[in-house]
Amino acid sequence: MFDYLIVGAGFAGSVLAERLANGLGKKVLICDVRPHIGGNAYDFYNDEGILIHKYGPHIFHTNSAEIFDYLSRFTEWREYQHRVLASVDGMHVPIPINLDTINKLYGLNLNANQVKEFFDSVREPREQIRTSEDVVINAVGRELYEKFFKGYTNKQWGLDPSELDASVTARVPTRSNRDDRYFTDTFQAMPRHGYTRMFERMLDHPNIKVLLNCDYQELKNEVRYNELVYTGPVDAFFDHCYGKLPYRSLEFKHETHDVEVFQEAPVINFPNEQAYTRVTEFKYLTGQSHRKTAVVYEFPRAEGDPYYPIPRPENTELYRKYQALANARQDVHFVGRLATYKYYNMDQIVGQALTVYSKMVGLNRKAAVAQSDAAAKIYSIGNGNAHRKGNGNGMGNGKTHGTVIVPAEVGRISGAV
Ligand code: FAD
Ligand code: UDP
């Protein structure tokens, strides 16, 4: 008998598994339909030995010391500031749009004050910022909106920016200085040995069993448990009774090239001509040295694995109906990007999972996070030599030694409880 069945071994499920086992001593079974842990953050070494992110580039950034410290129990870090160029008018220029973007694009030599005046001269102030179009046009006007945002957003979401909530393009700021970092958060770093190794350490507990290649639908009547944590799509949980919630999908095309460096930046965005939105070269992110290099192209798709909730009013309205059903289920905790239909980054999902846990145990979040962490070793950025008990093989194969069970064994598990 398990205390908890957790559906999904991404950030949401793994944080809860770790807290329930380490903080409360609960017995947990965590299952994932995929053949690995880590959810969308899963990384692994490809055939050439290059560390790549299977589901597209994942860069960790947060302003929360609490969340960063919590994850530092399971990984050392490599400091990393992300930078992106956009391919516009046959040039590669910084995005977010900054002083250098404007100067390069228009062959100017403006300073920060002058670029502010430039933005003031081209922006079209909007009284109400309701949509993703409003955000950009209000900040930089129509021409820059069309060069950088309109095409990219249409491709990425299959919708015009005017059909999407303001929050989508508001993720990308406009700057009048020369700061070309994609994020400005206090903590920006990559797990030194990859995300999968970090997840292996989170799930490394005698009370946690991991079951891969296993759909919750097939498992739910096979195991006995008290409570459920569900991190899959919320509409699927309720058999799409109100109709399908739209999620946007992607197809990833991975390539390895026989050159040391493929492109001049970690990510290049292609707002206009190409069918793909962006190309990522992983070695920039991971810091790995290798004589070859690996890249991934992202092609947006309407069908396929659900990767992005689509923030727009009609979808929020439909989600509210599912949320009402979810709220009525005292025995099930809905957590994560798919189960709460929120376009959240990794750190926000960790925060959400820690909050759910603190409510489960009736403690404030600080106390809930601190539970049983006395033995934990805290890693810091650049602390590459630190070691902590961990059973990962470092090859990022997503297997958690000694605790992984396969579907054929489910009968044995339920029989044994
Ligand atoms: P997921 O990682 O999706 O995990 C849910 C898991 O549940 C999945 O593994 C799924 O297989 C499993 N599951 C679903 N249904 C079932 C079922 N019926 N039975 C069994 N298992 C099931 N965030 C950042 O902070 N920085 C970034 O740079 C960044 N880049 C991103 C790039 C891309 C292309 C994408 C798609 C996302 C990116 N994110 C980034 C967001 C990040 O991936 C999410 O915030 C995070 O992974 C969400 O964690 P989760 O546990 O909620 O969901
Ligand atoms: N966006 C854009 N052009 C860009 C970068 C972003 O139009 O060069 C818009 C697009 O709608 C995108 C959103 O801003 O989906 C958020 O961008 P972000 O890079 O945060 O997307 P994610 O990494 O989550 O896919």
- Note if the pTM is more than 0.85: yes
Is the distance from the beta carbon of residue 149 to the nearest atom of ligand 2 less than 6 Å?
yes
pLDDT (tens digit per residue) in 63-96: 999 999 999 999 999 999 999 999 999 999 999 9
pLDDT (tens digit per residue) in 160-174: 999 999 999 999 999
Predicted local confidence at residue 372, as pLDDT: 81
CA distance 74 to 171: 28
Is the distance from the beta carbon of residue 168 to the nearest atom of ligand 2 less than 6 Å?
yes
Predicted local confidence at residue 274, as pLDDT: 97
Protein residue whose Cα sits closest to atom 2 of ligand 2: 149
Summary mean pLDDT of the chain: 92
Instruction: Return the percentage of the chain with pLDDT > 70, whole number.
Output: 89
Is the distance from the beta carbon of residue 62 to the nearest atom of ligand 1 less than 6 Å?
no
Is the distance from the beta carbon of residue 244 to the nearest atom of ligand 2 less than 6 Å?
no
CA distance 312 to 163: 7
User: Kind of pairing, strands 404-405 and 208-211?
Assistant: parallel
Is the distance from the beta carbon of residue 171 to the nearest atom of ligand 2 less than 6 Å?
yes
User: Kind of pairing, strands 91-95 and 84-88?
Assistant: antiparallel
Query: Considering every ligand atom, which ligand is closest to the CA of 229?
Result: 1
Residue pair 78/282 in contact by the 8 Å Cβ criterion = no
Query: Considering every ligand atom, which ligand is closest to the CA of 407?
Result: 1
Predicted local confidence at residue 383, as pLDDT: 46
Looking at the CA of residue 153, tell me the nearest atom of ligand 2.
11
Please report how many Cα atoms fall inside a 13 Å half-sphere around the Cα of residue 397, on the Cβ side. 10
**Strands of 2-7's sheet in order across:** 332-334, 225-230, 2-7, 28-31, 208-211, 404-405
Q: Which residues contact 24 (CB under 8 A, 6 or more apart)?
A: 361, 371
Is the distance from the beta carbon of residue 349 to the nearest atom of ligand 1 less than 6 Å?
yes
Looking at the CA of residue 347, tell me the nearest atom of ligand 1.
25
| Cα end-to-end span (Å), the chain | 5
Q: Comparing C-alpha atoms, which of 110, 86, 105, 233 is closest to residue 172?
A: 86
pLDDT (tens digit per residue) in 31-69: 999 999 999 999 999 999 999 999 999 999 999 999 999
Q: Which residues contact 21 (CB under 8 A, 6 or more apart)?
A: 27, 28, 205, 207, 208
Mean pLDDT of 125-132: 97
Domain annotation for the chain: domains and CATH numbers: 2-45+190-242+308-416 (3.40.50.720), 97-169 (no CATH)
Is the distance from the beta carbon of residue 309 to the nearest atom of ligand 1 less than 6 Å?
no
Please state, in angstroms and as integers, the Cα–Cα distance from residue 82 to each residue in 5, 286, 390, following that order: 36, 11, 28
Compute CA 399 distance to the chain's CA centroid, rounded to the nearest angstrom. Answer: 20
Range with the poorest average pLDDT among 251-255, 311-315, 352-356, 413-417: 413-417
Is the distance from the beta carbon of residue 356 to the nearest atom of ligand 1 less than 6 Å?
no
Number of residues in the chain: 417
pLDDT over 70 (residue 308): yes
Is the distance from the beta carbon of residue 37 to the nearest atom of ligand 2 less than 6 Å?
no
Residue pair 236/276 in contact by the 8 Å Cβ criterion = no
Cα-to-centroid distance, 271 and ligand 2 (Å): 10
Rg, C-alpha atoms of the chain: 22
Looking at the CA of residue 95, tell me the nearest atom of ligand 2.
8
pLDDT over 50 (residue 361): yes
DSSP state of 147: I
DSSP state of 22: I
Tell me which of 153, 251, 279 to substitute to probe ligand 2's pocket, judged by most ligand atoms within 8 Å of the beta carbon: 153
The H-or-E segment that residue 72 falls in is: none
Other beta carbons within 10 angstroms of residue 174's beta carbon come to: 19
Name the one residue in this structure whose structure tokens are 């492109």: 263
pLDDT (tens digit per residue) in 225-272: 999 999 999 999 999 999 999 999 999 999 999 999 999 999 999 999
